[in-house]
Amino acid sequence: MRCKTALSLLGLFSIGGILLAQPTQDEPQKRSIADQVVWMVGDEPILLSDIEYQKLILRSEGQGIEGDLDCIIPERIAIQKLFLNQAKIDSIEANETQVNRMVEMWIQNAISQLGSKEKLEEYFNKKISQIREEQAVQMRNEEIVRAMQQKIAQGIQVSPSEISIFYKSIPKDSLPFIPKTVEVEIIALQPQIPLTEIDRVKSVLRSYADDINEGKREFSTIARLYSEDKRTALQGGEYGFVGKVSLDPTFATAVFNLSDKTRVSPIIKTDEGYHIAQLIEKRGDLVNFRHILVRPVVDEAALSAATKRMDSIAQLIEEGKLAFDQAAALYSEDKNTYNNGGLMINSSNESDFAGSSSFRYEDLPQDIAKIAHELKVGQVSKPFTMRTEKGLEQVAIIRLKEEHPEHIANMNTDFRTIKEMALAKKRSKVIDEWIRTKQKATHIYINEAYRNCTFQYPGWVHEEQ
């Protein structure tokens, strides 16, 4: 049953000592939506403004949810508050570096979806600083809830018999479809950059720094025009609040030592290239800054030399004089794989195979995917040029180690997948039981306009209401 519209609240009532009133005919709309508390979970209120803001968020993200949002959203918030109340007792906090990174990613994505910062402000009818702060609260709470759920479900395991019982309980037409995946090994070499090219890059950055320090040009303008960091260039080089652990150690030391917001840092070298930075703001262990990245250009002579060297390595492997994993340990300059015999690990957060050595072709970097697609199992590729995730040019060879055809999940080949499914179900059951127990033990008040909702957890409406 649909709940009554949130705008139909009537009368005068008191919740937790807070006196609330809906304006009468004699008192026009003096009180805003934000003044109207419609739920209380323990000592925590849920406001109409909370519900309306969440509707805007869902719509801005294009999420379609079946059912009545005036019922679904407040219940979601109420569940969150149960976890947050317990987290306070257990002293669980969020990682602020992670929170700020997620906020900046969300802001940039929202701007991309809506077209501009101004349109984002217009959509929410708030300044970007207010939107950022509210999203920080939202994402901080989400991180705390995740941590609390992990604590509740920690130690939960599934035995082989439980996995087997779970597998047999799944209808055959409901077993997950496992797409075709491959395992890929790689050896990569970084072409030598001549000193003349490094000097050129440093000279360019020094000229930018001089213009900024002398007030001739704005840092943000130069960043938009010339920075090779695509993620930040359109925002004038602004990186967003981060902690030291999120940055290259050398870069972190340089930006955290900045104190004058009008001056530019010395040139900083990282694996991505060469940078200059400017302080925007410090907040405790977090810093926000602008930066300009310029990468040295790899010339044809350097690429040719690296390709020739790689060709020799590939020939040794083809002749059986050197195993691929040995060659990776000896020669590869890919920091992510040379200690793993060259075997690539799927690090995509959006992949079902994250953390494993299995990749769908679309999970692989594009330069690697198009080469791997042409190989047979065990075959080593010719040397090719590729760009790393940091935008650097490398010369590489790859070997297709394994190919797993698409299939319906089964216990023989997909035990890990089925185990994770069984474990997730068991953890979900534990968390569900925790929520129902907390509902009974927590003082909850729901305005009568919401009591006829069909809730996921019916125990919100206590008899005393």
Cβ-count burial of 52 within 10 angstroms (0-12 exposed, 13-18 middle, 19+ buried)? middle
Quote the tokens at residue 441: 């033990």
End-to-end CA distance of the chain: 19
Q: What is the pTM assigned to this prediction?
A: 0.65
Quick one: residue 236, left, alpha or beta (phi over 0 = left, psi -120 to 50 = alpha)?
A: left
| Model pLDDT, residue 2 | 38
Radius of gyration of the chain (CA): 28
pLDDT per position as a tens digit, 202-229: 999 999 999 999 999 999 999 999 999 9
Domains, the chain: 6-145+443-460 (no CATH), 195-294 (3.10.50.40)
Dihedral, 228, 232, 237, 241 alpha carbons, nearest 10: -140
Calculate the alpha carbon distances from 396 to 254, 303, 309 in Å: 32, 11, 10
pLDDT per position as a tens digit, 293-324: 999 999 999 999 999 999 999 999 999 999 99
Rounded Cα–Cα distance for residues 23 and 13 (Å)? 12
From the list 145, 71, 135, 151, the residue with the least C-alpha distance to 103 is: 135
Residue 33 above 70 pLDDT? Answer: no
pLDDT per position as a tens digit, 353-371: 888 899 999 999 999 999 9
